[in-house]
Structure 1
Amino acid sequence: MTILANKNDPRVKRTRQLLLQAFISLLEERQNIHSISVQDITERATVNRATFYAHFEDKYALLEIWMREKFHHALKSQLPATSTLQINTLRLLILAVFDFLALWQYHLKPADRQFVPFFEIALQQELQEVLLNWLNRVPSSVPICQEKVETTAQVISWAIFGPAIQWSRGDRTITKDAMAQYVLVVVIAGLSPAVTVT
């Protein structure tokens, strides 16, 4: 959770970027989230602690932003810029989630396993936001209740995220493409009461 309200101010963006870059460089050096302190981050970013806390509640809030941004960029790199809710983009989205989680599991350090639930919640919420954005852009001849749209995005995000997490942790005897197809069938069925997927 960030503290500053005006995230669009260029100075705020620059400072946040400095803090993120400092955190990433420390993470590359130390290979362990737990060993990085707020003091380490502020020294590397050449800002004071008050500035850090003006932007982030604690190092875990910074960690969440970093994970969300990584995940967001990974999805964006595998999806067309003008993606909408269609079968082919849903399939690409599912594959991108499987790819990201497999890579993440591979690079996850034993000392950082305690943060796994924290990471998973942040990533699932980011996926939910992508789906909610798509659902909100679906043209409809009848008004759809926003709560229904939000609940649909939440349910579908877990329908994708849950199997992807399990697959990334397991022995992967089923191929990524086969798993993505199974998940896609469930997702389309889950979406059908709310919208028509073409």
Structure 2
Amino acid sequence: MADCYRGDKRATDSKQQLRKALFHLLREKEWGKISVQDLTKKAGIHRTTFYQHYEDKFDLAQQVMDEMFDVMKAAIFAPVQEEDWQADHAAYVYIFRFYQHLQEHEEEYQILLKRGRELNIHQTASAFFEESFSLGLEEVAGSNPDPHHVPLEMQKQFVISAYVGTAEWWLRKGRPYSPDFMASSMIQLIENHE
């Protein structure tokens, strides 16, 4: 059992070192100029260890991004305590958690924004927001029915574009407003209140 644990711990440590190496190198270099050798050298591990966990550098980047979005989803949709609810809108707590998570992990998300096109994160981000939109609808179902019967697919695209674009702007501008302000403002904008 102890050997198994040591093996798991070594694998976890290697993956953490590679993740750190990936973000460190992405700060300095274009994705196309980063090699597996660069990653393993920066992480201080052997190439054979790298290939035990990943097929190539693209697999590493994809797994790291998948993990980041899984952690974000868990943070946003963790059980809500009664005192966390804000009376004026059921979605507030989820939007607030989204911005709070971005703030807590700002450096990594800034790097993804900078290298997003090179890393082709659009597909991973789109899948995350599609799933989160559906989860969010389930969580706040019935709280604000649409009286105009706008098709759900159209609502989804509008909301996802609004949140992604605004979050990118917020990060690029150096987070000029608090997560609380952002959550309240986003609700106001989406509902078209003044």
TM range (shorter): 0.5 to 0.7
Structure 1 moving runs of 4+ over 6 Å: none
1:152 matched to 2:150? The reply is no
C-alpha spacing 1:45/1:156, structure 2 compared with 1 (3 Å): same
Q: How does 1:69-80 map to 2 (within 5 A)?
A: 69-80=67-78
Q: Does 1:32 align with 2:25?
A: yes
Shift of 1:121: 5.3
Given candidates 181, 184, 188, the residue that maps to 2:184 is 181
The amino acid across from 1:97 in the alignment is F
Quote the offset at 1:169 in angstroms.
1.3
**Runs of at least 5 residues in structure 1 that lack an aligned partner in the other structure:** 1-17, 140-147, 190-198
Q: TM-score, normalised by structure 2?
A: 0.56
- 1:176 Cα shift? 2.8
Partner of 1:155, secondary structure, is helix
CA distance in structure 1 between the aligned counterparts of 2:183 and 2:110, rounded to whole angstroms:
26
CA distance in 2, matches of 1:47, 1:175: 42
Cα distance in 1 for residues equivalent to 2:95 and 2:181: 11
1:160 Cα deviation after fit: 1.5
The one-letter code of the counterpart of 1:129 is E
In 1, the alpha carbon distance for the partners of 2:90 and 2:57 equals: 34
Q: Relative to 1, partners in 2 of residues 1:63 and 1:87: Cα closer, same or farther, differing over 3 Å?
A: farther
Deviations 1:53-79 (A, max 9, x none): 5xxxx5334423322322222332243
Q: Is the 8 A contact 1:79 1:89 kept in 2?
A: no
Q: What is the TM-score with the length of structure 1 in the denominator?
A: 0.55
Shift of 1:22: 4.4
Question: Within 5 Å, which residues of 2 pair with 1:117-156?
Answer: 117=117, 118-119=120-121, 122-135=124-137, 138=141, 148-156=151-159
5 Å matches for 1:3-152?
22-29=14-21, 31-33=24-26, 34=31, 35-37=34-36, 40=40, 43-45=48-50, 47=52, 52-53=54-55, 59-81=57-79, 90-107=91-108, 114-117=114-117, 118-119=120-121, 122-135=124-137, 138=141, 148-152=151-155
Identity %: 14
- 1:101-142: CA deviation from partner (whole Å, max 9, x where unpaired): 3344434687x7652343465334312211123436847xxx
SS at match of 1:47: helix
RMSD: 4.0
Match of 2:169 among 166, 169, 177: 166
The residue number in structure 2 matching 1:5 is none
Cα distance in 2 for partners of 1:173, 1:152 equals: 27
User: Is the 1:105–1:169 contact (alpha carbons within 8 Å) kept by the matching residues of 2?
Assistant: no
Q: Whose Rg is larger?
A: 2
Summarize the Cα distance change of 1:158–1:134 in structure 2 as closer, same or farther, 3 Å threshold: same
Q: Deviations over 1:32-88 (max 9, x none)?
A: 25435289586225639xxx55xxxx53344233223222223322433489xx975
1:132–1:149 contact (8 Å) kept in structure 2? no
